[in-house]
Structure 1
Amino acid sequence: MSRSHAAEQKPALPLSRTSKRVLYALRSALIQAVPAALGIVLVVFVLLQLVPGDVVDVMASQSGSASAETMAWLRAEYGLDQPVLAQFWNYLWHLAHLSLGYSPRFGTDVTSLIAGRLPDTLLLMLLAQAVALLVGIGFGVIMAVWANKWPDRLLTLVNLLLYSLPGFWIGLLVLLLFSVQLNWLPSGGNQTIGANLSGGGALLDKLRHAVLPVLALSSYFIAIYARLTRSALLDIADQDFIRTAHAKGLAPWRIVSRHMLRCALTPVTTVAGLYFGNLLGGTAVIETVFSWPGLGSLAMEAIIARNFNLVLGILLLSAFMVVIVNVLVDLLQSLIDPRMEGSA
């Protein structure tokens, strides 16, 4: 038997547990994403059709005057004169060809508009999620270690304020303090106008503009993660393996960081995945307060302008982002808690 023939007969290596977990998560995400996308398109399309007026009415009002013939021609040009079912079928046809349609308001395709705003929104969301997790978990550890003592009571009060105050209100407060009174940080936008920065300077400038929006967006989630971490750590503190670690004479910080915190991260990451949709929805208000040019502010402009194709495109992208984040959370949990690999 020749070497080439023997190589052809060589059996394939079995997949590892991690690879099986990844494939299972991707398959589950695909199964969830397609029906979710169709459901979102159907529900939102019907709701938008119930809204009085269309993009042609908005364009006519902004121009100051438009004849009935011009408006009828525009509706025929954009397919708005067709029956609702025909419009829905046309949208699905374009969606099947990976096209999100055309935006009459901005005079370009929806995909280009979303691609231009998506990086700034992702930057804001990722920074807010990172700050919320780091600060929230840190607060939760301090509250659990000093349970029912003054650090716990102080941080409980702080978390109560963060949980109770709306994000836009906190945004206005930090805007008034750090931008108006102290003049430390810019009040809005995502870059310094006229600075003509590039490379690292442009990145630092954008991060400087993102500080206040990130603080406002992450405030509510800091309180959520802190309370959840405290509760999870206190529940784990009575487990037998923690008592065994104390009996072995391990340092308290080592027990908390290497044994207790790893188990407590599982519910925290689960809730972080579930709240990702809330985080995405909160960007719309925060971007409006700080004039941050992201998807949230673009969605507000699209709704006001009756730009339904753009609204549908943003909602579809948001749905897929939520599905992807939940897949990543599922994979992260399998790394944090190896016992979950056996469920794949």
Structure 2
Amino acid sequence: MWKFILRRLLIMIPQLFILSIIIFLMAKAMPGDALTGKQMDPKADAKRIEEIRKQMGLDDPVPVQYVHWIKNISHGDWGVSYTHKTPVLDVIGDRIWNTIYLGIATLILTYLIAIPLGILSGRHNDSWVDKLITGYNYIGYATPIFIFALIVLFVFGFKLEWFPTGGTVDPQAVPGTFGYFMSKVYHLILPTLSGALIATVTTVQYLRNEIIDTKIKDFVRTARSKGIPNSKVYNRHILRNSLLPIAAFMGYEITGIVVGSIFVESIFGYPGIGQLFVKSVLLRDFSVVNALVIMTSFATLLGTLLSDIILSAVDPRIRIE
């Protein structure tokens, strides 16, 4: 197991290196740079802007800029945000915990909803319950997350005014108090609900199909022929085997939730790394954009590794060597 994990971690190094080249070239291919916005200001001095561009090395050849960027990263220097005028890691550090809280809450709610629905749909397939849940899945598949989030925000935030429409905490809340904690939870409800209700559809459908396929396998028929009660057949044989792929899929779910947070955070005005990414792209703050993409890619690779480890841990028939 440890050899496998070490080998996978070592493989990530060339993967991230190749990815860094692609990310850097794509950023450079975009029109403009961090100083473009200043050129739109009629009061801006064009000569001064050109001097700043040379000082920042933005006029250097692309390979030179890339080598300089990689050298800085290897020393823990991710550069300075052109927009915030502070180190990139400080900008990301102020927001990453908000995204982590949102991701954990969304993941927990996703499984709390998806697993019971998947079990009901698979166990009672072709019933009216199954048709109702399948209809919910079809609607979820057909609805983009940003459309669904806008509807949730409009109905529960603006029309009914049940929940706040932006931010992470009430400005008047005192840090460290119970009221401050509850305010954080209160601001998490709408973004979490929007992300979870869409994220559940894949897990529900996958679990439903696994249960239906497992019900007709030989070992299940053998268990029933021995007179084992139907509840034990489902719990010990069907459900246990059907949940294995769901457990292994958890690593990918984490990655998907992080990516989906870009839309959710932007719509709900939730100051996380998703919202930061969108703003940084619009403002051509490529030092922040590059850092976020690299970090997200690394999280994706770790999620893939985590899925393999979970599958090996929950299924004794599989051992990673």
Verify same fold: TM over 0.5.
yes
- How far apart, in 2, do the equivalents of 1:29 and 1:122 lie? 24
Query: Cα–Cα, structure 1 residues 243 and 109, in superposed 2: closer, same or farther, change >3 Å?
Result: same
| Contact 1:188 1:209 survives alignment (8 Å) | yes
Which one-letter code corresponds to 2:126 in the other structure? Answer: N
Counterpart in 2 of 1:38? 17
Which of 261, 274, 298 aligns to 1:283? It is 261
Shift of 1:228: 0.4
| Contact 1:168 1:289 survives alignment (8 Å) | yes
Shift of 1:316: 0.7
2:275 maps to 1:297: yes
TM-score, normalised with respect to structure 2: 0.93
Which one-letter code corresponds to 1:174 in the other structure? Answer: V
Counterpart in 1 of 2:8? 29
Which of 123, 146, 159 aligns to 1:181? It is 159
Q: What stretches of structure 1 of length at least 5 have no aligned partner?
A: 1-20
| Contact 2:117 2:133 survives alignment (8 Å) | yes
Shift of 1:64: 5.1
2:136 maps to 1:161: no
After superposing on structure 2, the runs of 4+ consecutive aligned residues of structure 1 that deviate more than 6 Å are none
Which one-letter code corresponds to 1:120 in the other structure? Answer: N
2:307 maps to 1:313: no
Counterpart in 1 of 2:307? 329
Shift of 1:298: 0.4
| Contact 1:29 1:324 survives alignment (8 Å) | no
**Greater radius of gyration (CA):** 1
Q: Secondary structure at the match of 2:266?
A: helix
Which one-letter code corresponds to 2:167 in the other structure? Answer: G
Counterpart in 1 of 2:121? 143
2:30 maps to 1:51: yes
Counterpart in 1 of 2:173? 195
Identity rate, percent: 26
TM-score, normalised with respect to structure 1: 0.87
| Contact 2:261 2:274 survives alignment (8 Å) | yes
Q: What stretches of structure 2 of length at least 5 have no aligned partner?
A: none
Q: Secondary structure at the match of 1:168?
A: helix
| Contact 2:252 2:307 survives alignment (8 Å) | no
Shift of 1:204: 2.2
- How far apart, in 2, do the equivalents of 1:311 and 1:32 lie? 24
| Contact 1:245 1:255 survives alignment (8 Å) | yes
Which of 99, 120, 129 aligns to 2:98? It is 120
Counterpart in 1 of 2:74? 96
Shift of 1:197: 4.2
| Contact 1:25 1:330 survives alignment (8 Å) | no
Query: Cα–Cα, structure 1 residues 65 and 258, in superposed 2: closer, same or farther, change >3 Å?
Result: farther
* Total equivalences in the alignment: 321
